[in-house]
Amino acid sequence: MHEIEAMYNIHRIDKSNITVIPDYVEKLSDTYSNEKICLPIMTIGRNGEDLLNMAESALYIFEEVICGVNWMKAIRENGIDTYRDFRQLFEAILKPLFCEWEACYVAKSWHVECFLILKTHKIFENQDRANIFFVFTDFSSPVPTSYFNDQCEAFGLPPMPGNLPDAMLWDEARTLLKVVWACQYFPRQERSKKQGDTAMQRGVIMNAMFSRLPQEAKLHNHLANLITHWSEPLESARETISHEPTKPGRMQSQQTIDEEARRELDRALVMQKMKQKKEKKNAKAVDAPNALENSGAQSKDTTVESSNSSQQISNKSEDVPKPSTNEGPVSSTSAISKASSRSSSTSTSEQCSSRILVPEDEEAVEKKTFEDQAKKMVKMQNQIKELKEQMKLLSEENETLKGTIEERKEEDSNKLRKAEKELEKEKEKTASLEQAIKDWKVSLEFMEKNLIEAGEKRDAANEKLRKADEELREQTAKSRELELQLREANKALATMNKEKDIAVERVVREWTERWNVERYQVQLAQNRTEEAESKVRHLMKEKVKLLEKNPQDESNFPAHVATYNKDIRKLRQLLKEKEDLIPHLQKRIQDLSNQPGPFPQTSEDPNSYLERIQNMLEVINRDDSVEEKRVRISRLLTNTDSAETRQISVLEEDLFDASVTMYRDTLNYNIFKVQQTQSIDGCQPIPCYPDLSQRFLDAENKERTKAMFGEGDCAICFEKIEDLEEKRTCPNEICGLKYHANCILKSIETRSLCPYCKTPYFNADDFPVLS
């Protein structure tokens, strides 16, 4: 497998375009159990689960959550803050996927929790989710573009732009509909600033959508235009509204200025004609009409020139840049309007003067007319100079425009030459690429042959590996059997060690108890002998004193002597018995001293020791379990049918009473000793707390299990233990009860003892109590 992958990498073959059938790869033997079967869309693991890479995982979440929702309606109803909150939540959930998204795989079951978190957001309240599908029975037939636009309108999405193919493939339409939703949810085409941000998520989801487009899709070359059309539709509309009307507006302003200039020129001409007519009618002198005619001709020439110049200015203003065109017509029209206003004012004043004044002196009239005409001529000459200056400016601007136009033509020609050279280079590159493609085809044929040979070698290697795998399985099975045998032997050894330890502890405990009892009895016997000896001595002394006091009273003396002799004989007999018992007890003490006795007591404060012993005495006096144990002994004694069990019960009753009395006597003796000596040196070792013996518990358990459960039943739940079920046995051979593994584990959680014989399941020293 590794050799084949290396060949794919050497020849740059994409594995995602190769469909691998799971049954073909020998059902993935255990040798390659860690390998995965890669399909074009998903990855199938060894256990048959669907694994998605990060891009497919992000697309899967996008399809299930984002697609099918009218986001414009959701924003209108819930507000832009809720939409931004959801965007942050969506980015935060998808962000862990983009840490190492090219190398990781996610199980498909992981997405359920993501869907629950996202779909319960506030923005989805009262929002209907549409189903993304196209009603077509024949999936091979193309989908019309008009039908696609109808579906977009039904889902509240922007339609497709015009000038595109009239139909598309079914898979292509489904993918493009998801692209429209992605453009609506991610309206801005931003650059990624950090790992896993919204821009990266948009790019990865878009690329995952584009990878699903079929190779024969008709809109492959229009994807960039479609994304720009569907992304930020409101901003693009605003830009077109704000930028496009600028040129027509300027053209309209220029036209209005030209029309106003022409109108004022026409008005000036009309006013001058009216003035000439009135002057002809009102003139009475001979020279005045000739002068007026000459001035009228000159004014006509100037007006014609001004009109021609204004027309030239209006025509040339279209080619001049915007600031110059606005200044030229305004200045010309202002000058002409001033001239016309002045001329009209002068004409009206002249009319009034001609109507009111009567020409008394012709010379004065002629002077006035000549002065007026001279003033008018000066004004007209000034206007002509201004117009000439404007014409010069316009000519200079025209020359600059011609220079810029020529420069642009040269730049365009240079660009065309560069483009032609680049086109020739591209043609050469395409020719070289075609030749390379031909070479690649030939090399691919050889590669196919090599792949066939490699496949045959792989089959042979797989056969060898299969045989080696079988041998390895056999060896592993044998090793497992040996491990099981070793475990069983270890368990048996552990149980034997536990039983041995328990037996040793039991023997040590019994010997210590016996040693304590015998020692206590010896000490009591010694005390009694000492008391008897002291009494004998005291009586002898009293006898001597009485004889000394009453030597004359001989009548009572024989009686007193008889009584004293009788007492002395009794005391001597008792003393003799005690003296006979002393060597026997001394020998017994010597034997017990040779045996292992109790552990030596550590040094302790007498007061604390006294308080502890008093508390222990109060505990045993208040303990109700002592009486309960006596009741258990008597109950077993009365309810049993076995003579052996009855004998055990009688013996247990005596031993239990003796242990209780010995325990109390030892505590009382130690209390008295400490109170007298204020020291714990001579105190007796405290025996174990009175409890029932293991022999009695075993007999009680046997009697108890007779009526409750059978031989093959669990001693806790009383149900039958099946052959396939795991079972446990009590470590005590005498008890030997069987339990379900789960039942005894639950029982051990509360108390690590057998519920019947109280045998511990493990050594307390190996597993101490954690406190």
The strand pairing partners of 241, in sequence order, are none
Residue 30's identity, in one-letter code, is D
Do 632 and 692 touch, CB atoms closer than 8 A? yes
Q: pLDDT category, 639, cuts 50, 70, 90?
A: confident
pLDDT at 630 over 70: yes
Cα Rg for the chain, rounded, in angstroms?
A: 63
Nearest alpha-carbon partner for 339 in 399, 264, 243: 264
Helix (H) or strand (E) holding 303: helix 287-316
Q: What pLDDT is recorded for position 595? A: 46
Beta pairing class for 43-44 and 37-38: antiparallel
pLDDT in tens, 63-110: 888 888 888 788 888 888 888 888 888 888 887 776 654 456 777 677
The residue among 116 and 295 whose pLDDT is bigger is: 116
- The answer on pLDDT for 455 being more than 80 is yes
pLDDT tens digits, 345-378: 344 333 333 333 344 456 777 778 878 888 888 8
Lowest mean pLDDT among 144-148, 381-385, 575-579: 575-579
When the pLDDT of each residue in the chain is averaged and rounded to a whole number, the result is 70
**Do the beta carbons of residue 559 and residue 550 sit within 8 Å?**
no
Helix (H) or strand (E) holding 111: helix 111-119
Position 305 confidence tier, pLDDT thresholds 50, 70, 90 = very low
SS3 for 501-529 is: HHHHHHHHHHHHHHHHHHHHHHHHHHHHH
- The residue type at 670: N
Neighbours of 364 (CB within 10 A): 11
- CA 450 – CA 8 distance, rounded (Å): 12
User: Which DSSP letter does residue 710 get?
Assistant: -
Contact 666, 684 (CB under 8 A): yes
Neighbouring C-beta atoms of residue 212, cutoff 10 Å:
16
Average pLDDT over residues 571-577: 62
Longest dimension (CA), the chain: 222
Pull the structure tokens for residue 33. 């159990």
Q: What are phi and psi of 609, to 5 degrees?
A: -65, -45
Which two tokens mark 516? Answer: 């304590």
Residue of higher predicted confidence among 46 and 386: 386
Strand extents, DSSP E, 524-677? none
Residue 546 burial (10 A CB sphere; 0-12, 13-18, 19+): middle
| CA distances in angstroms from 609 to 617, 627, 676, 685, 742, listed in the order given | 12, 27, 14, 12, 44
Long-range (24+ apart) CB contacts under 8 A made by 4-11 are 4/454, 4/458, 7/450, 7/451, 7/454, 11/447
Q: How far apart are CA 210 and CA 41, in angstroms?
A: 12
> Domains (ranges, CATH) in the chain?
49-243 (no CATH), 601-708 (no CATH), 710-771 (3.30.40.10)
Q: Long-range contact list for 78-85, CB < 8 A, 24+ apart?
A: 78/122, 78/123, 78/125, 82/122, 82/123, 83/123, 85/121, 85/122, 85/123
What pLDDT, on the 0 to 100 scale, is given for residue 190? 63
Per-residue model confidence as pLDDT tens digits over 438-452: 888 888 888 888 889
Q: What does the block give as tokens for 213?
A: 């487009």
Which stretch of DSSP H or E encloses residue 672?
Answer: helix 643-677
- Please spell the DSSP secondary structure of 339-355, one letter per residue: HHHHHHHHHHHHHHHHH
Is-contact 718 709, C-beta < 8 A?
Answer: yes
Q: What tokens were used for 753?
A: 């003892």
Work out the burial of residue 480: count CB atoms within 10 Å of its CB; fewer than 13 is exposed, 13-18 middle, 19 or more buried.
Answer: exposed
CA–CA dist 1, 35 (Å, integer):
9
Q: What is the pLDDT of residues 202-245, one digit of tens each?
A: 777 878 777 777 777 777 667 777 777 777 544 433 333 333 33
Q: Are 217 and 172 in contact (CB under 8 A)?
A: yes
Count of other CB atoms within 10 angstroms of residue 369: 20
pLDDT of 567 reads 59
**Distance between CA atoms of residues 303 and 172, nearest Å:** 72
CA distance 83 to 121: 10
- Between residues 34 and 166, the one the model is more confident about: 166
Of the candidates 625, 602, 616, the residue with the CA atom closest to the CA atom of residue 668: 616
Distance from C-alpha of 512 to C-alpha of 508, rounded to nearest angstrom:
6
Q: Output 326 or 704, whichever has higher pLDDT.
A: 704
Q: Which helix (H) or strand (E) holds 68?
A: none
| 480 confidence band (pLDDT: 50, 70, 90) | confident
Is 66 in contact with 122 (CB distance < 8 Å)?
no
Q: Determine the distance from the C-alpha atom of residue 64 to the mean position of all C-alpha atoms in its chain, rounded to a whole number.
A: 18
CB 526 within 8 A of CB 584: no
Q: Which two tokens stand for residue 355?
A: 């109507």
**Comparison of pLDDT for 405 and 559, the residue scoring more:** 405
Residue of 199, 185, 189 whose CA lies nearest to 156 = 185
Contacts (Cβ under 8 Å, ≥6 apart) of 16: 38, 39, 40
Q: Which tens digits make up the pLDDT trace of 697-711? A: 888 888 766 545 567
Residue 372: what pLDDT?
A: 83
pLDDT level of residue 733 (50, 70, 90 thresholds):
confident
pLDDT for residue 360: 43
Res 290 pLDDT > 80 = no
**Plot region of 248 (φ>0 → left; ψ -120 to 50 → alpha; else → beta):** alpha
The per-residue pLDDT for 47 is 56
Q: What is the pLDDT of residue 650?
A: 83
pLDDT surpasses 70 at 687: yes
* Predicted confidence (pLDDT) at residue 644 exceeds the cutoff of 50: yes
What's the rounded mean pLDDT across residues 482-506?
Answer: 81
Sign for the CA dihedral angle at 444, 446, 450, 452 comes to positive
Are 721 and 711 spatial neighbours (Cβ–Cβ below 8 Å)? Answer: no
Q: What one-character DSSP code corresponds to residue 124?
A: G
pLDDT at 391: 86
Q: What is the DSSP letter of 727?
A: E
738-756 pLDDT, tens digit per residue, is: 888 888 888 777 677 777 7
Cβ 217 vs Cβ 168: under 8 Å? yes
Taking each helix axis from N to C terminus, what angle separates 246-282 and 287-316, rounded to the nearest 10 degrees?
Answer: 170
Residue 457 CA neighbour count, 13 Å, CB half: 9
For the segment 515-551, what is each residue's pLDDT rounded down to a tens digit?
777 677 667 767 776 777 677 677 777 767 776 665 5
Q: CB atoms < 10 A from the CB of 216, how many? A: 9
The answer to whether residues 739 and 727 touch, using CB atoms and an 8 Å cutoff, is yes
Reading the block at residue 491, the tokens are: 């368990």
Q: Say how far apart CA 172 and CA 41 lie, in whole Å.
A: 16
Look at residue 259 in the predicted model and tell me its pLDDT: 58
The pLDDT confidence band at residue 324, using thresholds 50, 70 and 90, is: very low
- pLDDT (tens digit per residue) in 11-58: 666 555 554 444 334 434 444 444 444 444 456 555 555 677 777 788
